């Protein structure tokens, strides 16, 4: 018996399983939307690092928030606001002739002494920023803190050193007045930078360089002063020694004179106390009772008292 096949309406040889690509295409809008949402959330959050503050910049109006953002995560509208981070921890600005000490180029400070001689200085400035004044600082300079350091701060240091060094001789700055020069320069720098929120912690002059002829003259002068001081000390030493010897000699002379006077006085008193009777008494105490074995015409020194 033959079998009758009924057509199903499907092409022969095709699978009836669902197409996976069609399912992925259907979910793509959802995935893209989720990704855009995540990106939007990430861009709307700002993280301020520890030791820094965030300056909020309003892009539409161009203004600056008077209060900075502290460390941590903060939400913002990335389209209308921007963030500029300023470090408020202690920093050290190094200005030297070479780049090995932290200076990014030849940043030495060049000024003139009171004699008009050129002086080059390697300096360093340690400071912190007052967080409450950072918005005003950004409003004034409109740039990052490193550019401010190598711009306005460097110029303020140079101006202060010119005023201080320019009123002193090179020899004094290199010698007895170096500490005073540093203190006076730091006071000027602190006052001028303080209005912008810079809190100066320490200012140091690491090296001072002057023309070779000037340095040679200063060294020669120092050697001569040292030699003069040595000669003066030797003279004082000899003077003190001579005075000491004179005092000792005078003391010895006075001692001899006093001893002679005492001996003379003792002799005078002794001579006054010696009488014939005393002499006879002393001789009698020492006589052993024997008469001399040799007799002559001399009269014995010891005279026996007469019998009663």
79 and 176 share one domain? no
Whether residue 12 lies inside any domain: the answer is no
Number of domains in the chain: 3
List, in sequence order, the alpha helices (H) in the chain: 20-43, 134-141, 145-148, 154-165, 170-174, 178-194, 212-273, 276-286
Tens digit of pLDDT per residue, the chain (308 long)?
455 555 555 555 555 565 555 555 555 666 666 555 555 555 678 899 999 999 999 988 878 999 999 999 988 887 888 899 999 999 999 999 876 665 667 899 999 988 888 999 999 999 999 999 999 999 999 999 999 999 999 999 999 999 999 998 888 888 889 999 999 999 999 999 999 999 999 999 999 998 877 767 666 765 555 666 666 777 777 777 777 777 887 788 788 878 888 877 777 776 666 667 666 766 776 666 666 665 555 555 555 555 55
Whether residue 305 lies inside any domain: the answer is no
Task: Please state, in angstroms and rounded to a whole number, the distance separating the CA atoms of residues 62 and 306.
Answer: 148
96 and 201 share one domain? yes
Measured torsion, CA atoms of residues 207, 208, 211, 213, in degrees rounded to the nearest 10: -90
Range of the domain at 48: 43-87
Burial of residue 166, with CB atoms counted within 10 A of its CB: 0-12 exposed, 13-18 middle, 19 or more buried: middle
183 and 256 share one domain? no
Task: Please state, in angstroms and rounded to a whole number, the distance separating the CA atoms of residues 169 and 175.
Answer: 10
Whether residue 115 lies inside any domain: the answer is yes
Whether residue 297 lies inside any domain: the answer is no
Task: Please state, in angstroms and rounded to a whole number, the distance separating the CA atoms of residues 130 and 201.
Answer: 12
96 and 138 share one domain? yes
99 and 204 share one domain? yes
98 and 206 share one domain? yes
202 and 232 share one domain? no
């Amino acid at each position: 018996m033959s079998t009758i096949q009924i057509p199903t309406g499907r092409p022969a040889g095709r699978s009836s399983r669902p197409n996976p690509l069609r399912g992925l295409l259907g979910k793509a809008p959802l995935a893209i939307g989720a990704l855009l949402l995540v990106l939007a959330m990430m861009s709307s959050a700002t993280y301020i690092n520890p030791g820094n503050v965030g300056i909020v910049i309003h892009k539409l109006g161009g203004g600056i928030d008077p209060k900075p953002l502290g460390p941590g995560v903060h939400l913002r509208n990335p389209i209308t606001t921007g963030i500029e981070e300023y470090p408020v921890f202690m920093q050290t600005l190094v200005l030297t002739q070479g780049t090995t000490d932290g200076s990014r180029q030849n940043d030495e400070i060049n000024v003139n002494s009171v004699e008009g001689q050129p002086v080059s200085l390697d300096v360093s400035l340690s400071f912190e920023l007052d967080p409450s004044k950072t918005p005003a600082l950004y409003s004034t300079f409109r740039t990052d803190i490193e550019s401010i350091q190598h711009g306005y701060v460097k110029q303020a240091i140079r101006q202060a050193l010119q005023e201080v060094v320019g009123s002193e001789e090179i020899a004094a700055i290199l010698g007895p007045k170096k500490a005073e020069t540093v203190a006076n320069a730091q006071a000027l720098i602190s006052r001028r930078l303080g209005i912008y929120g810079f809190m100066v912690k320490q200012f140091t002059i690491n090296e001072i360089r002057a023309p070779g002829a000037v340095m040679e003259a200063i060294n020669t002068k120092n050697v001569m002063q040292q030699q003069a001081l040595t000669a003066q000390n030797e003279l004082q030493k000899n003077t003190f020694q001579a005075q000491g010897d004179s005092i000792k000699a005078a003391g010895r002379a006075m001692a001899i004179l006093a001893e002679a006077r005492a001996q003379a006085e003792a002799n005078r008193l002794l001579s006054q106390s010696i009488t014939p009777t005393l002499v006879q008494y002393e001789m009698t105490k020492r006589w052993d009772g024997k008469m001399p074995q040799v007799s002559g015409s001399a009269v014995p020194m010891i005279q026996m008292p007469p019998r009663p």
